[in-house]
Amino acid sequence: MLYAGFYGMKRGLVWLRNDLRLKDNLPLYNAAHDCDEVFPVYVLDPRLFRQLNVGFRKTGPYKTRFLLEALHDLDKKLKQVGSGLIFRQGNPENIIPELAKEWNVQVVYTSKETGTEEQNVENVLERELTGHRIMLEKYWQHTLFHEEDVPWPIRQVPEVFTSFRKESEKMVDVRPEVPEPASLKTPQHIMYGAIPEFSELGLEEEKSDKRSVIEFKGGETAAWERLNYYFWQEDLLKNYKFTRNNLLGGDYSSKLSPWLSLGCISPRSVYFEIKRYEEERKKNVSTYWLFFELLWRDFFRYMSKKHGAAIFRYEGFNGSPPDYNEDHEKFDAWRHGETGEPFVDANMKELLLTGYMSNRGRQNAASYLMYDLGVKWTWGAAWFENRLIDYDPSSNWLNWAYIAGVGNDPRQGRQFSIESQSAKYDPKGEYTGLWLERDAIS
Ligand SMILES: Cc1cc2nc3c(=O)[nH]c(=O)nc-3n(C[C@H](O)[C@H](O)[C@H](O)COP(=O)(O)OP(=O)(O)OC[C@H]3O[C@@H](n4cnc5c(N)ncnc54)[C@H](O)[C@@H]3O)c2cc1C
């Protein structure tokens, strides 16, 4: 037996990252299958909350609250299969090897990430583990299409979304999901550690605003509730293509992004639910379109792997960036929804007060900051990182780089006309009115 360890028993540690779920979780599934005892661990990395030079923290209150809720839900679900979530705070590359040594673990199972900070952590961890003769098994599981199934080596993944989509959807099948582990055995004597209260993390208290598009609650349970609502209960999927650019209310788009970003649900699970919906209810351009949007997510994930640290740089990896200033007054006015441009201000208030903003709003707000105010686009991307409840490194930074013309836009950047966009998408001023004319903080 390759891993026969302590008393001939095989022990696995599952380092949970942005894969906070039981269903379709390959590291957890394989550990449950291969090992006699499994230790599911989450490590809250304090570097997530570090202060940035632009004057705020890297991660803000909405995503943090959502993460804590997701961890509680995960703990509950793990308890139902005989285990529980082991929680620690600190640098994962130090803590995971320490725990693995303490518990005589032979294999650490985890998900692969593509962001540079995440990969650096992974690399240091791997070196540490190798030094102690502990194996690291890493699984690719954040996309619909598996990295081994796409028809290109990473260096040759097309730079243009349409080429990526056309070739990959023709040639690649989405791999089947893996089920939840039926049971997990974790020794009871270990110290599980308590998930902190939000107030212990020293962040500003987030606002609670009743105008929020929906009430976002972290966790796998709530992810499936949202999917069931959108697909099955309210049958909203069948019109998605025609509603997705709206701005008001919970129903115009899936709102699955926060759960996808922390892996409370896998993109594959969403895909197979779309397929089931097509069989049982309706197959049309809207059902295809949700899949199409998920392919954008895949595309940016592959681009972040291909371009590494360049996706976070002002110069990006293609084209040339717009001229910029570092005007803090303009930037702060934009952040707080006080530029005097109502459509942008309404969107920025929604973000500030709820952690969410529609795709249309994000495009306009980003364009306005870099082209109308001339402020450095990377500052705006950092503010989105702090505020967005669905923040995801590749989707955020590569959408910004796209608009700035230093990423994957074949037109090399696009300035949105705020006037015509607001006339088209908010013709009666209802959206602007909702955010600028009433003060609805509950
Ligand atoms: C400047 C800017 C920053 C963004 N930052 C993020 C981010 O940090 N995290 C994030 O998940 N999305 C980001 N997006 C993409 C998009 O705005 C959100 O995914 C979407 O608004 C989330 O709402 P939804 O789940 O209802 O989307 P839906 O319209 O229901 O789409 C379904 C899913 O498809 C994916 N998707 C849709 N559009 C995009 C896109 N343009 N790029 C990548 N994936 C997409 C998302 O996973 C989304 O949940 C950003 C877009 C812009 C223009």
The pLDDT tens digits for 240-289 are 999 999 999 999 999 999 999 999 999 999 999 999 999 999 999 999 99
Residues 315-342 pLDDT 10s? 999 988 888 899 999 999 999 999 999 9
Query: Would the CB of 141 count as within 6 Å of ligand 1?
Result: no
Protein residue closest via CA to atom 16 of ligand 1: 359
Query: Would the CB of 227 count as within 6 Å of ligand 1?
Result: no
Residues 167-198 pLDDT 10s? 999 999 999 999 999 999 999 889 999 999 99
What would be the CATH architecture of the domain defined by 149-172+220-307? Alpha Horseshoe (1.25)
Protein residue closest via CA to atom 50 of ligand 1: 396
Q: How far is CA 307 from CA 34, 121, 247, 312, 400, in A?
A: 35, 18, 32, 10, 15
pTM of the model: 0.97
> pLDDT-derived band of residue 1, with 50, 70 and 90 as boundaries?
very low
Q: How much is the pLDDT for 274?
A: 98
222, HSE (Cβ side, Cα atoms, 13 Å): 24
Instruction: Write out the H or E segment, with its range, that includes residue 324.
Output: none
Q: How far is CA 62 from CA 50, 51, 84, 208, in A?
A: 16, 16, 25, 10
Query: Would the CB of 318 count as within 6 Å of ligand 1?
Result: no
Boundaries of CATH 1.25.40.80 in the chain?
149-172+220-307
Query: Would the CB of 396 count as within 6 Å of ligand 1?
Result: yes
CB atoms within 10 A of CB 349: 20
Residues 29-55 pLDDT 10s? 999 999 999 999 999 999 999 999 999
Query: Would the CB of 400 count as within 6 Å of ligand 1?
Result: yes
Boundaries of CATH 3.40.50.620 in the chain?
6-141
Query: Would the CB of 362 count as within 6 Å of ligand 1?
Result: yes
Question: CA 418, 397, 411: angle at the middle one, nearest 5?
Answer: 55
Given 1.20.870.10, 3.30.300.180, 1.10.579.10, 3.40.109.10, which CATH number is that of 313-436?
Answer: 1.10.579.10
Query: Would the CB of 257 count as within 6 Å of ligand 1?
Result: yes
Boundaries of CATH 1.10.579.10 in the chain?
313-436
Query: Would the CB of 392 count as within 6 Å of ligand 1?
Result: yes
Query: Would the CB of 165 count as within 6 Å of ligand 1?
Result: no
Tell me which CATH homologous superfamily contains domain 6-141: HUPs (3.40.50.620)
Q: How much is the pLDDT for 7?
A: 59
How many percent of the chain have pLDDT more than 90?
A: 91
Protein residue closest via CA to atom 22 of ligand 1: 257
User: 395 CA to middle of ligand 1, Å?
Assistant: 7
Residues 353-369 pLDDT 10s? 999 999 999 999 999 99
Protein residue closest via CA to atom 46 of ligand 1: 257
From the CA of 267, give the closest atom in ligand 1: 47
Of residues 413 and 388, which shows the higher confidence score? Answer: 388
Lowest mean pLDDT among 151-160, 257-266, 405-414: 405-414
